[in-house]
Structure 1
Amino acid sequence: MTAADSFQRGIRPNLNQFLQQILQVFFVGLMIGMERTALPGLAQKDFGVAKGSFLFLLSFLFSFGLVKGILNFIAGSLSDRIGRKRVLVMGWIAGLPIPFLILMAPNWWWIVLANVFLGINQGFAWSMTVTSKVDITLPEERGMATGINESAGYFAVGISGIVTGYLSVRYGSRETLFWFGLSVVTIALVLAIGFIRETLPWAKAEHAEHRNNTFSGPPPRFPEGVSEHPGAREIFLLVSFRHPTFRALSQAGIANKIADTLVWGLLPVFLLGRGVTLTATGWVTGLYAMVWGVSQIVTGRISDRIGRKIPIVSGLWCLAGGILAMALSENQPFRLFSATVMGVGMALLYPNLVAAVADISPPAWRGKALGTYRYWRDTGYAIGALLLGAIAQWRQEVILTFWVTSGLLILSGLWVALGAEETHPLINPSQKIRTLSE
């Protein structure tokens, strides 16, 4: 029996594990979503963060983004060496201190520390759900696979934001975040240990097919000039700076997380400062995340048919338009409409950026390549916290941050449109017959 027979790729033959990974990313989404509604309000109510202290307020996002970005890269490198499942379990173990730190926090710096652990949890756990799905699916299913993955995760983010918003009003923010967070981490850790299979053998089997010229699919546009056994540093430099398509995709990842920083850290402040209730604010932020989540089932599949580039560029510009509309909104129906437009924009770009990176990453170092892209993407939280926090601090209001973010997204879309090639191997296959070194 060949490696290809033992480790058959495709959603259908691996449906059980595919569904298990969907459940894992759903729990990961619940963890990050629980903070989106309750935490900005908690900053002023429980910890005395001054109303205009925007940089201090966004410090929790800075710590989260910086740590998650670094851990994404580490997770990618580790997963190529020790396997995807071990890294996933490590991510859930790192999530255990979070609810306790939030419950017992005497000051805001404990919340910042909690978000360091949240960054580790997200960097390890979410990264592995993506990488594992790419391992066990076919290239022509990659958009759908990443779309379903991100859909489940961000639908959970939206659900969690709405549910914790309601529960926080009734039971208190700290108590809600403690019991909700502890339940999610415990259940997810048990399921990860008991039911998740290691998918690294699928990646190794695919690598062997490319090396032996027995791969039956369309030839991917793998980068030229990479050494036989590239280390983490070489892959980091290649994806970050040396390869024009990787570079364009990485900067688009940064731009979309700057936008999400705005939604997570400053949109609640913007709405609450205009007299919008906490519950209504939860619906705006929750609808954005739910539309983002659910729509990715469709948008990932679309990219499998028409390619990655058009959805990515369209998504960046759609997101920019939704943010501008939110800045101009004056009533709840228009806010919900703006949140929907923003969610659609995120759905168009988000899973397809991951799919595009995976398209042109050889399986032998796919984890490192995805980890590098996700490093830059989630470091966008830290960049966004500094940039948007400084702008809001300077103006002592947040409205200008909406305009700046929209401008960055428009420029980012232009960069991808002009600076990246189409990566889908069916639509833009390589014209060269390649043999990958072992």
Structure 2
Amino acid sequence: MPHDPVLGLRQNAAQFALLVAVNALVGGMVGQQQTVLPLLAESEFGLTGYTYIFTYIAAFGITKAAANYFAGTFSDRYGRKPVLLVGWLFAVPVPVMLIMAPSWEWVVLANVLLGINQGLTWSTTVVMKIDLVGPANRGLAMGLNEAAGYGAVAVSSLLAGYLAEQHGLRPAPFLLGLAYIAIALMLSGFFVRETRGHAHLEAQDHVRRSDGMHDHLHGELTNRQIAVQTSLKEPALSSASLAGLVNNLNFGLSWGLFPLLFATAGLTISQIGLLFALYPGVWGAGQLVTGALSDRVGRKHLITAGMGTQAVALALIAASSGFAGWAVGAVLLGAGTAMVYPTLLAVIGDVAHPVWRGRAVGVYRVWRDLGYAFGAIIGGVAADLMGLHAAVWVAAVVSAATAVAVSVRMYETHQPV
């Protein structure tokens, strides 16, 4: 018999922990390839143009962005669990394609499928956790979710770098992905329960803000209205979408560019893997603190400070030419991202009504994950025209400008009790 829904982190601890584990496996699918693919492009496929090398990141970002939208729409319409399962089915061919790829086009196609997998599964686990915990602990819930996902990115990047150095760039690093998929399908199919009933329960008891904010967003909205509010009109939602896009622009640029930049100093593959893992590692661990902190102090100042910290970190990385400077920059970049990432998702949960929350999360994540594509394109073009260091300077300037824009336009969305 199905369980009657009850809101709260403690009341849903078992299901919440299970979804944290599933999201760690989602992150691991990205981490298995981040250290390896830029090196594979140069050593096995003989690619030299940065713009062309980064096509796989652009393909990943565009398809993930589109999948986010459909994840939100379908999870509101059909339920969360079916979307989660379908997302994992799209991952099944990815490690095999990367192992067997005879040309770079295979790598790009594998990342199209990976983007669909990431959009459907990550968006759905986000929505499910928001469903379970209710309004009081959204920041904490998102911190735990994103910590698991990006902590797994870091660990898998480190493991993939070690496996590549010990056993070669293929196939060993991608065997991690095959294991992740098998475990995730088992957990999602047999143990994860549907959470849409929790959202309906919250909608019944939903309390309007005392200051009148969000009154125009109560009740059912069309998909077009939700997209317009989240993208352009509603100040907090649209500011979150902008900050999310730039945040992932930095991640997309770093994904393709950092391994190549670090290789210019003659570092080993394992050293490059360690440097790259520092960024998502600090990002993942930091969210255990920043998500809960936003529940106590509010969202806006954490977001503006985080974008500013990212700008400083990128400037340090751009100005450095060795392991020490890059390591400090990577740690700072992870810290700045940790301030922003769970807090932006909590903003969406604060403002979006429970009946259309899944779609709002989907639209926000469309913009956020288009940042991968923008980062790959801008980073590739800037690196080809001006060099690797200059491309990082460009990202630093964009991050600083975003911090200013958010500080001016976003209002505080959370009223701590």
Contact 2:305–2:336 (CA under 8 A) maintained in structure 1: yes
Query: Partner of 2:171: helix, strand, or coil?
Result: helix
CA–CA distance in 2 between the matches of 1:148 and 1:411? 29
Q: Which residue of 1 aligns with 2:38?
A: 40
State which of 69, 72, 76 in structure 2 corresponds to 1:76: 72
- Structure 1 segment 303-382 matched on structure 2, within 5 A: 303-382=294-373
CA–CA distance in 2 between the matches of 1:304 and 1:227? 22
- Mean Cα deviation higher: 324-333 or 312-321: 324-333
TM-superposed deviation, 1:226: 4.7
CA–CA distance in 1 between the matches of 2:95 and 2:57? 17
The 1:110–1:67 alpha-carbon spacing in structure 2 relative to 1, beyond 3 Å, is same
Contact 2:163–2:173 (CA under 8 A) maintained in structure 1: no
Q: Which residue of 2 aligns with 1:28?
A: 26
Query: Partner of 1:89: helix, strand, or coil?
Result: helix
Q: Which residue of 1 aligns with 2:157?
A: 161
Q: Which residue of 2 aligns with 1:207?
A: 203
TM-superposed deviation, 1:219: 5.6
Q: Which residue of 2 aligns with 1:13?
A: 11
Q: Which residue of 2 aligns with 1:235?
A: 226
Structure 1 residue 417 corresponds to structure 2 residue 407: yes
CA–CA distance in 1 between the matches of 2:17 and 2:230? 30
Query: Partner of 1:140: helix, strand, or coil?
Result: coil
- Structure 1 segment 16-415 matched on structure 2, within 5 A: 16-50=14-48, 53-210=49-206, 215=207, 223-226=214-217, 228-395=219-386, 397-415=387-405
Query: Partner of 1:325: helix, strand, or coil?
Result: helix
Can you list the C-alpha shifts for 1:126-185, whole angstroms capped at 9, x where unaligned?
111111110011322110100010001111000000001000111222212331111111
Matched letter for residue 401 of structure 2: L
Matched letter for residue 416 of structure 2: L
Query: Where do 5+ consecutive residues of structure 2 fail to align?
Result: none
- Mean Cα deviation higher: 302-311 or 386-395: 386-395
CA–CA distance in 2 between the matches of 1:47 and 1:242? 45
Can you list the C-alpha shifts for 1:376-417, whole angstroms capped at 9, x where unaligned?
00001111212221111222x211111110111111111111
CA–CA distance in 2 between the matches of 1:87 and 1:267? 33
Matched letter for residue 409 of structure 2: G
The 1:219–1:358 alpha-carbon spacing in structure 2 relative to 1, beyond 3 Å, is farther
The 1:379–1:193 alpha-carbon spacing in structure 2 relative to 1, beyond 3 Å, is same
CA–CA distance in 2 between the matches of 1:327 and 1:357? 32
Query: Partner of 1:271: helix, strand, or coil?
Result: helix
The 1:44–1:232 alpha-carbon spacing in structure 2 relative to 1, beyond 3 Å, is same
Query: Partner of 1:139: helix, strand, or coil?
Result: coil
CA–CA distance in 2 between the matches of 1:111 and 1:380? 20
CA–CA distance in 2 between the matches of 1:304 and 1:361? 17
Q: Percent identity?
A: 38
Can you list the C-alpha shifts for 1:37-58, whole angstroms capped at 9, x where unaligned?
01110001111112xx011011
The 1:227–1:349 alpha-carbon spacing in structure 2 relative to 1, beyond 3 Å, is closer
- TM-score for the superposition, normalised by structure 1: 0.92
- TM-score for the superposition, normalised by structure 2: 0.96
TM-superposed deviation, 1:82: 0.8
Query: Partner of 2:366: helix, strand, or coil?
Result: helix
Query: Partner of 2:36: helix, strand, or coil?
Result: helix
Query: Partner of 1:65: helix, strand, or coil?
Result: helix
Contact 2:253–2:372 (CA under 8 A) maintained in structure 1: no
TM-superposed deviation, 1:221: 6.5
Matched letter for residue 348 of structure 2: V
The number of residue pairs the alignment matches comes to: 416
Structure 1 stretches of 4+ moved >4 Å:
217-222
TM-superposed deviation, 1:367: 0.3
Contact 1:102–1:177 (CA under 8 A) maintained in structure 2: no
TM-superposed deviation, 1:69: 0.4
CA–CA distance in 2 between the matches of 1:232 and 1:177? 40
RMSD: 1.7
